[in-house]
């Protein structure tokens, strides 16, 4: 066919003629396939050599979702070899690695801070076993969704023998009744549960559920603790992420998928008519590049050198890297989100403005009901007890700037005033109560000054736990036998009958005497016991020469403690 014939196909008349001609060949000569194939080959041979036919890009739902996912989700490790951090769990010979290698099917709990790898490890665990992986989040799921997964798991187990792993993120969000839904299915072996939580399982998960996580072989509770990632781990994750992004597309690594125009020319495949039919198999196609972007062949020259992973992004300076590591505070998800902001910025972006944008994009992670809430108030209390005013003020500032309730801190300091300062300074408790009232009346941000005043005073005040320890000893004695009667001598005798029965007989009223007198103040079982020790009494206290020398070196500028006895010996002995 000549060039003019091909051109005429795109004219209105040509189109009509071509359509009628195609219709004629379809109806009149349905069996003449050889003639049709010969005609197609001749048309293809007449196409100019410099004309490159374009293939219509195939865009699937999975590729669209993958393209829209954050960078942290797209760059999840695909194997344990790619996983960074948690060496106590992932190294060969570790408890979790042994759990994986033997294909254990018991339920487990991952406990750790956000962004430390709980979800990734759960997916890798399912990948290493021949199990179906289902994923739910307790934040948007309930009993109905769990029952649906269980019923599907039971049917699959009965038909194929394959087990189902249910990964439940934020498992601590389920209340006790919701957690109990798992018990019969875990006992029957119909389901394997992998729970992820940022809260202490001892407080947030039921004992019944925790007992179902005991390993069948080791008889140990399968609660794996994941630590916050170190700065070295975050640096490695960021470096690998930038390198992978640079290799995939050094210019615009995460532009949205293009929407092809219906008028785009393309050469149809033999099975092109079925390209839009949904497949029953999971689609694992990679996201398509933007049409205007360089192809993989063109971009290969700009791939990042492993020795210089940030060469493709000049705005990714060492200071930007260190800032990302610091702001992420061990959270890989936060770090990768910051990486996404940096590599999407212009390559000539001002470093100061970029750093400012990074700092504003990170919110302070503080949960007033989580572990950090109790960890920080514990750090504040212990710093005051240890007379470390600077440390106490730091933890006070950390809590207040994160949004902690100042009344909560003031209440704890009221307790501290009696527990740790106690009889050594009787002004501590009134000051603490005054500070609590000031926080009620004034509120934030001004009451931070009152709290700083109180915390500094309590830190520098002398310490005495005689009252607190004395009550603890008395409480222990009182619990031994709550039915011990009060001695007759110190009983109340408001009536004549009680006096006849011996109430208050022999009692000496102390103010009537010019000298000290004694009475039977304790039951006979405890007479002679000293619950409240004398001031300066160090009986039962530990003498640790190594700990004392460490204090002298770090806190006392190398000088000997003024209270050191003339002759002391090493070791940890009771004085």
Query: pLDDT band at residue 6, thresholds of 50, 70 and 90?
Result: very low
What is the tens place of the pLDDT at every residue in 49-88?
555 555 555 655 555 555 556 677 777 887 777 888 888 8
Q: At residue 409, does pLDDT exceed 90?
A: yes
On whether the CB atoms of residues 235 and 321 are closer than 8 A, the answer is yes
On whether the CB atoms of residues 215 and 95 are closer than 8 A, the answer is: no
The reported pLDDT for the residue numbered 214 is 59
Handedness of CA 400, 405, 411, 415 (dihedral sign): negative
- pLDDT class for 286, splitting at 50, 70, 90? very low
> Are the C-beta atoms of 331 and 116 separated by less than 8 Å?
yes
Model confidence band, residue 133 (pLDDT cutoffs 50, 70, 90):
confident
In percent, the amount of the chain with pLDDT more than 90 equals 18
pLDDT tens track for 181-230: 888 888 888 888 889 988 888 888 888 888 877 554 444 557 888 888 98
Q: Is the pLDDT of residue 284 over 90?
A: no
CB 156 within 8 Å of CB 132:
yes
Least Cα distance to 138 among 88, 205, 89 occurs for 205
Rounded distance between C-alpha atoms, residue 108 and residue 100, angstroms: 12
Give per-residue pLDDT as tens, 427-482.
999 999 999 999 999 989 999 999 999 999 999 999 999 999 999 999 999 999 88
For residue 475, what pLDDT is reported? 93
Give 284-292's long-range contacts (Cβ < 8 A, gap of 24+).
284/62, 285/58, 285/60, 285/62, 285/63, 286/63, 286/66, 287/63, 287/66, 287/67, 287/257, 288/57, 288/59, 288/63, 288/257, 288/258, 289/249, 290/252, 290/255, 290/258, 291/258
What's the predicted TM-score (pTM) here? 0.53
58: preceding bond cis by omega (within 30 degrees): no
Residues 157-175: tens digit of each pLDDT: 888 888 888 999 988 889 8
- For position 275, what pLDDT does the model report? 34
Predicted pLDDT of residue 33: 46
Higher-confidence residue: 500 or 37?
500
Q: Residue 116 gets which letter from DSSP? A: S
Return the pLDDT at 397.
94
């Amino acid at each position: 066919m000549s060039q003019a014939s091909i051109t005429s196909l795109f004219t209105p008349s040509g189109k009509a003629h071509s359509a009628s001609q195609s219709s004629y060949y379809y109806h009149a000569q349905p069996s003449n396939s050889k003639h049709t194939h010969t005609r197609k080959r001749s048309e293809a041979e007449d196409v100019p050599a410099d004309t490159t036919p374009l293939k219509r890009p195939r865009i699937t739902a999975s590729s669209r979702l993958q393209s829209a996912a954050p960078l942290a989700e797209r760059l999840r490790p695909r194997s344990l070899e790619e996983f960074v951090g948690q060496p106590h769990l992932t190294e060969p010979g570790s408890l979790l690695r042994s759990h994986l290698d033997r294909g254990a099917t018991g339920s487990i709990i991952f406990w750790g801070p956000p962004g430390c790898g709980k979800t990734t490890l759960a997916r890798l665990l399912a990948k290493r076993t021949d199990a179906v992986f289902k994923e739910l989040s307790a934040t948007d799921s309930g009993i109905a969704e769990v029952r649906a997964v269980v019923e599907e798991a039971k049917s699959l187990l009965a038909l194929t023998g394959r087990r189902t792993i249910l990964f439940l993120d934020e498992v601590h969000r389920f209340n006790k009744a919701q957690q109990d839904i798992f018990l019969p299915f875990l006992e029957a072996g119909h389901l394997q549960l992998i729970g992820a939580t940022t809260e202490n399982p001892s407080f947030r998960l039921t004992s019944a559920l925790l007992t179902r996580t005991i390993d069948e072989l080791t008889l140990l509770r399968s609660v794996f603790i994941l630590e916050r990632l170190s700065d070295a781990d975050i640096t490695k994750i960021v470096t690998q992420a930038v390198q992978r992004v640079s290799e995939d597309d050094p210019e615009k690594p995460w532009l949205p998928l293009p929407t092809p125009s219906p008028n785009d020319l393309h050469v149809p495949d033999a099975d092109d008519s079925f390209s839009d039919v949904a497949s029953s198999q999971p689609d694992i196609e990679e996201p398509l590049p933007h049409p205007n972007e360089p192809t993989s062949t063109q971009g290969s020259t700009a791939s990042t050198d492993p020795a210089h992973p940030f060469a493709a992004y000049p705005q990714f300076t060492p200071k930007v890297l260190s800032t990302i590591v610091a702001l992420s505070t061990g959270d890989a998800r936060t770090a990768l989100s910051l990486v996404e902001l940096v590599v999407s910025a212009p390559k000539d972006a001002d470093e100061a403005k970029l750093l400012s944008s990074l700092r504003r994009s990170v919110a302070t992670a503080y949960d007033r009901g989580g572990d950090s809430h109790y960890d920080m108030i514990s750090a504040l209390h212990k710093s005051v007890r240890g007379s470390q005013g600077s440390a106490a003020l730091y933890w006070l500032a950390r809590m207040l700037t994160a949004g902690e309730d100042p009344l909560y801190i003031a209440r704890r300091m009221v307790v501290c005033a009696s527990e740790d300062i106690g009889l050594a300074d009787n002004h501590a408790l009134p000051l603490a109560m005054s500070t609590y009232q000031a926080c009620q009346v004034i509120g934030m941000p001004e009451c931070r000054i009152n709290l700083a005043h109180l915390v500094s005073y309590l830190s520098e005040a002398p310490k005495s736990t005689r009252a607190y320890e004395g009550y603890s000893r008395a409480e222990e004695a009182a619990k031994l036998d709550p039915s011990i009667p009060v001695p007759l001598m110190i009983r109340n005798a408001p009536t004549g009958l009680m006096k006849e029965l011996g109430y208050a007989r022999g009692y000496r009223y102390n103010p009537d005497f010019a000298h000290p007198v004694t009475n039977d103040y304790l039951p006979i079982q405890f007479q002679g016991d000293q619950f409240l020790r004398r001031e300066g009494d160090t009986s039962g206290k530990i003498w640790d020469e190594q700990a004392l020398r460490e204090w002298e070196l770090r806190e006392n500028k190398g000088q000997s403690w003024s209270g050191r006895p003339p002759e002391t010996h090493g070791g940890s002995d009771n004085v």
